[in-house]
Amino acid sequence: MVQEPLEVLNRYLTEHGMKHTRQREIIVEEFFKSNKHLQIEELLNQVKKVEPSIGYVTVYRTLMLLKECGLAHQRHFGEGKSLFEKAGDHHDHMICIKCGSIHEFEDDRIEKLQDQIAKRINFKIVSHRHEVYGCCSRCQNE
Amino acid sequence: MVQEPLEVLNRYLTEHGMKHTRQREIIVEEFFKSNKHLQIEELLNQVKKVEPSIGYVTVYRTLMLLKECGLAHQRHFGEGKSLFEKAGDHHDHMICIKCGSIHEFEDDRIEKLQDQIAKRINFKIVSHRHEVYGCCSRCQNE
DNA sequence: ACTGATTTGAAAGTAGTTTTCATTGGAGAT
DNA sequence: ATCTCCAATGAAAACTACTTTCAAATCAGT
Ligand SMILES: [Mn+2]
Ligand SMILES: [Mn+2]
Ligand SMILES: [Zn+2]
Ligand SMILES: [Zn+2]
């Protein structure tokens, strides 16, 4: 049975002597409401619609917290701002260099080949990033 | 027949009304002398042994120049400083998160699978990065 | 050597975080 | 309900890794 994100977070908070706050509640709710890859500032804008006094730093810190308890992933596509997405099944990304759209993919055959190569040099894989940059279907027709 | 890096560079310089300078000569020579993935500051240190008056910015600009003429690649592993390596056959990387050592690999089967996935969504690939992070053989025994 | 554009190096500027610190606020104890 | 204390917050400052600016120095064609 899968744990609800909020349960995981609440357990993490109590186990670490951390507090429940209105800000965290709003930020986490807005984050999980969206299904996109979000910049900190994008999430901040969402959050400010609910509570305008919340600042960038609190959103930033809450995302770090979600990362720490494994509920979010931080991605660094290209060279600009990083993006956050909720954790879920593993996948990699194809990123359109024209419009920025992101297409997720996953392929067990690639992951297996990757494991084989690692095993050959006795390398213990902890994580990987496989990012493909190019031009999406929509951006090719214009 | 393969072009010598220096020929390629010199042609690029004259074709773009750029000049041949002692600094560029030293920096390029030191860069191609090494076979590693180098930080700007590492290359700067090498260069300063030959000519201490050369500054960071000139090394930086020369590396940008080498990138522009396709003689070097810039890599962004992890989140820190970027690394530069001379251009050559395409390959991807396994990076040890303990000691920082880098193992290059290439696998046509992975590249083919990647092409297939792209074709399926009509995505035109321009470039990709496939980086595997983990623990190298040496760092596991200690 | 003269000339005019290019290069150089120090310093300043930028982007995207990340840390600091004074103040506010949550929650268990009284 | 109030106390108390430690954690959380937000504004501002600091930080990192570049990137640009600008005045002085260099290069290379007359
Ligand atoms: Mn994703
Ligand atoms: Mn390499
Ligand atoms: Zn696109
Ligand atoms: Zn290692």
* Over residues A59-75, mean pLDDT: 98
Give the CATH number for residue B131: 3.30.1490.190
Is residue B20 domain-shared with residue B37, that is, in the same domain?
Answer: yes
Task: Kindly report, residue by residue over B72-85, the tens digit of the pLDDT.
Answer: 999 999 889 999 99
**C1' of nucleotide C9: residue with nearest CA:** B55
Do B79 and B9 share a domain, yes or no?
yes
User: B142 touching A, CB under 8 A?
Assistant: no
Q: What is the pLDDT of residues B13-48, one digit of tens each?
A: 999 999 999 999 999 999 999 999 999 999 999 999
3-state secondary structure string, chain B?
CCCCHHHHHHHHHHHCCCCCCHHHHHHHHHHHHCCCCEEHHHHHHHHHHHCCCCCHHHHHHHHHHHHHCCCEEEECCCCCCCEEEECCCCCEEEEECCCCCEEEECCHHHHHHHHHHHHHCCCEEEEEEEEEEEECHHHHCC
> Same domain, yes or no, for A56 and A21?
yes
Q: Are residues B75 and B100 in the same domain?
A: no
Please give the mean pLDDT across all residues of chain B. 96
Please say if the pLDDT value at position B89 is more than 90: yes
Q: What is the pLDDT of residue A4?
A: 85
Q: Which two tokens stand for residue A82?
A: 């990083």
Whether residues B77 and B109 share a domain: the answer is no
Domain endpoint, select from B86, B101, B130: B86
In terms of domains, do A97 and A45 share one? no
Overall average pLDDT of the A99-106 stretch: 96
Answer yes or no: do A78 and A51 share one domain.
yes
Residue B63 predicted with pLDDT over 80: yes
Domain shared by B82 and B97, yes or no: no
Residue A51's domain is classified under what CATH number? Answer: 1.10.10.10
Domain boundary pick from B46, B68, B86: B86
Q: Are A80 and A11 found together in one domain? A: yes
Clarify whether residues B10 and B27 are in a common domain.
yes
Domain range for residue A72? 5-86
* Strand D nucleotides in reach of protein CB atoms, 7 A cut-off: 6-12, 16-21, 26-28
Final residue belonging to a domain, choices A67, A86, A105: A86
Instruction: Say whether pLDDT at A92 is over 80.
Output: yes
The number of domains in chain A is 2
Q: B1-15, B22-36, B68-82, B108-122 — which is least confidently predicted?
A: B1-15
Q: Give yes or no: residues A16 and A33 share one domain.
A: yes
Q: Which of B40, B68, B113, B89 is nearest to A92 (CA)?
A: B113
Mean pLDDT of A12-21: 96
Are A114 and A52 part of one and the same domain?
A: no
User: Could you tell me if B64 lies within 8 Å of chain A, comparing CB atoms?
Assistant: no
pLDDT (tens digit per residue) in A113-122: 999 999 999 9
Are B95 and B131 in contact by the 8 Å Cβ rule? The answer is yes
Full-model pTM:
0.92
| pLDDT band at A3; cut points 50, 70, 90 | confident
Nucleotide nearest to B58 (CA to C1'): C8
